[in-house]
Amino acid sequence: MLDIETYEWQKLEPKGNPPEARCGHAATIMANQDKLIIFGGWNISTQFSNAMIYEIGNNEWKDPELSHEIPRWNHSAIMAPSIPSWKYFIFGGSTGSFEEGGNRTTSKFTNDVFYLDVDSMEWRQVALEPEED
C-alpha cells in the first residue's frame, strides 16, 4: 500500500484466500464501499471469469463466488453511480479458453458490454443498438 503522505510502500499481509496470480484483469475501487473488486484475467494455465473482493478496512480477501459466464481478459472496467445502486461495467477484451501451453490465437476480441449490479451482485448484458449503415 502506498502511504500518500510519505510516498513509501508497505507490503500488506491480507487475511483470507487471495486471488490466483493473474494478468489482464481489471481492478476497480467500489466507490460506494471500502472495497476493491478484481475481475477476469488469465495466467499460464487458465482464464478467469470470477470476481474477487478485497476489503480495504479489514485487510481481507473475500470470494463472493461470483462468476461471469465467459472468461475475459484485457478488458476495460469502470464503476459508475446509478440509481438505485452502483454498477461495475466491463467492456471488450478477449474471450475464450485455451489449454495450458495451447495456442492463444483461439481467443477472440469482443466489443460487448456487461455490468454487475453491486447491490444484487448479478451480471447483466447491455443491449446495444445495432449500427446503422
Q: Are 91 and 77 in contact (CB under 8 A)?
A: yes
3 state DSSP class of 38: strand
Mean pLDDT of 120-128: 90
Give the tens place of pLDDT for each residue, 37-91.
999 999 888 889 999 999 999 999 999 998 888 899 999 999 999 989 999 999 9
Whether 125 maps to a domain, the answer reads: no
Whether 35 maps to a domain, the answer reads: yes
CA separation, residue 102 to residues 23, 69, 73, 125 (Å): 17, 21, 16, 29
Cis peptide before 64 (omega within 30 of 0): no
As for how many domains the chain has, the answer is: 1
Question: What's the whole-number average pLDDT of the chain?
Answer: 89
3-state helix, strand and coil shares in percent for the chain, rounded to the nearest 5 = 0, 45, 55
Whether 12 maps to a domain, the answer reads: no
Whether 57 maps to a domain, the answer reads: yes
Whether 113 maps to a domain, the answer reads: yes
